Structure 1
Amino acid sequence: MVSHLFQAPRLLAGGMLLMLITAGHASGQDVQVSNARLSLLPGEQPGAGYFQLHNTGDETAVLVGAQTEAFEDVEIHMSSEENGMAHMHAMEQVEIEAGERFEFAPKGHHLMFIGRLKTFSEGDDVEVMLEFDDAQQLSVTFDVVSPVSL
């Protein structure tokens, strides 16, 4: 009976430590995804992923990457225009504040799908795993669409 008295404080301390470690970040489970579309150009050209994120949690969620078995690599990119010239660059992460929505859309943020490993047709589905800085992952199904539909 005496040994049970010492287990409760250790369990409580372990739980509190876990809470401290995870404090300050919304998990992938607090993020909802809608309207996930993968625009594919003909041939071997990269594809672009567009979708909306909604952080329903109480803390900032930080998207740090994505992966799929359908492509060699997936990167977070940002398109912009300066002095009439289009630019695109990779980004390390995207922060979605608590309660906020963030849109990945043409001429803005998007996922760049590089190195197609499978053949796709319009209407196919591609499973993608979104990765967050707290090691949480969120599985999302992207619908393959024509670029002209965007």
Structure 2
Amino acid sequence: MASAPRHHRLTRTAHRLTLGLLTALLAAGSVQASELEVSDARLRLMPGDLPAAGYFRLHNTGEETVTLTGAGSDAFGHVMLHQTMQEDGMSSMHSVSELEVAPGDTLEFAPKGYHLMFMKRAVPLAVGDELEVTLEFADQPPVPVNFDVVSPASL
């Protein structure tokens, strides 16, 4: 008899967890499908423990401006938004706190421009792997994106 109430509690808990997970997945999926499109996501893997760079295109198909505020990955200790700038023939990188993407616009992360800088690799990676990166926004749920791990020579 004692097992019936416990079974009921476990079933009720499982239902609540399932409902919560479905709600979260639907919310994240609707942002990707209806407002944001991410394409050509790739991570340029450097040898050893050198920082890696992430490139992609972010297209805003919605009716409101979206603000990209950061990114994260379990495979790296720190991920930053960066911009490479040319001044007087010299190239330099600067951290960027946020980037806005107006409705209908596409923001391109590419070599010699905006990019994600991946620091402090926490897990081994190899060319050909796929890495989940979460893009973070000011007023939107985070968006998980799969990045293809590529060699520096492929860019």
TM-score (norm 2): 0.78
Residue 132 (structure 2) aligns with: 127
How many percent of aligned residue pairs carry the same amino acid? Answer: 52
Aligned partner of 1:34: which letter?
Answer: S
Distance apart, 1:55 and its partner CA:
0.2
Aligned partner of 2:97: which letter?
Answer: E
Aligned partner of 1:103: which letter?
Answer: E
- The 5 Å alignment of 1:49-60 reads 49-60=54-65
1:148 and 2:133 equivalent? no
Aligned partner of 1:93: which letter?
Answer: E
State the distance in 2 between where 1:116 and 1:85 align.
28
State the distance in 2 between where 1:105 and 1:57 align.
23
Residue 96 (structure 2) aligns with: 91
Instruction: Determine which of 35, 45, 52 is the counterpart of 1:47.
Output: 52
Aligned partner of 1:59: which letter?
Answer: E
Residue 109 (structure 1) aligns with: 114
Aligned partner of 1:77: which letter?
Answer: H
Distance apart, 1:112 and its partner CA:
0.3
Q: Deviations over 1:62-84 (max 9, x none)?
A: 00001110000000000011111
- Paired positions, count: 124
| SS of alignment partner, residue 64 of structure 2 | coil
| SS of alignment partner, residue 86 of structure 1 | strand
Residue 65 (structure 1) aligns with: 70
Query: Which consecutive residues of structure 1, in runs of 5 or more, have no partner in the other structure?
Result: 1-26
Distance apart, 1:136 and its partner CA:
1.3
State the distance in 2 between where 1:46 and 1:97 align.
30
Instruction: Determine which of 35, 41, 56 is the counterpart of 2:40.
Output: 35
The runs of at least 4 aligned residues of structure 1 exceeding 6 Å deviation read none
Q: Deviations over 1:73-98 (max 9, x none)?
A: 00000001111111101000111100
| SS of alignment partner, residue 139 of structure 2 | coil
Q: Is the 1:28–1:131 Cα contact (8 Å) retained in structure 2?
A: no
| SS of alignment partner, residue 136 of structure 1 | coil
TM-score (norm 1): 0.80
Residue 24 (structure 2) aligns with: none
Structure with the larger helix share: 2
Cα RMSD (Å) = 1.1
Instruction: Determine which of 71, 77, 85 is the counterpart of 1:80.
Output: 85
